[in-house]
Amino acid sequence: MTVQQGGILQVYHAGPLCVAGFGGKDILDTFSVKDIRDELLELVKDNQCETLALDLTGVTLIPSGMLGLLASMRDLNIDIHLYNPSEDIREVLEITRLNQFMHLHDVEIPY
């Protein structure tokens, strides 16, 4: 697995399947949703991404703006997978029914 570090995101794999994460860091107060959006959109467009897998290892909560961003990705025909979401994130996704179009997985991500 090759890890590319740019701004906020660590990109583990790029191509039709893009896998990116936050390096095990929480995103609640650390990062701007706008900056994350810009990086994700660039990653998706530059790599003709069809499936975006976001590693949420170490992320305890997702800001509402980030949920909106992920929801809007389906307008781009991007299949969203979330790796290692916390129980709190799973609960929010269930309450908002976003779990109906986001695929949740527990996987090992070697850093």
DSSP per-residue string spanning 38-88: HHHHHHHHHTT-SEEEEE-TT-----HHHHHHHHHGGGGTPEEEEES--HH
Q: Report how far Cα 76 is from the mean position of its chain's Cα atoms.
A: 15
CA dist list (Å): 95 to 30, 57, 66, 68: 25, 21, 16, 14
Q: Which CATH class is domain 4-105?
A: alpha beta
What residues does each domain of the chain span? 4-105
Please report which confidence band the pLDDT of residue 110 belongs to, taking 50, 70 and 90 as the band edges.
low
What pLDDT is attached to residue 26? 77
Q: Say yes or no to pLDDT of 2 above 60.
A: no
What pLDDT is attached to residue 6? 60
Mean pLDDT computed over every residue of the chain: 87
Q: What is the DSSP letter of 109?
A: -
For the whole model, what pTM was predicted? Answer: 0.86
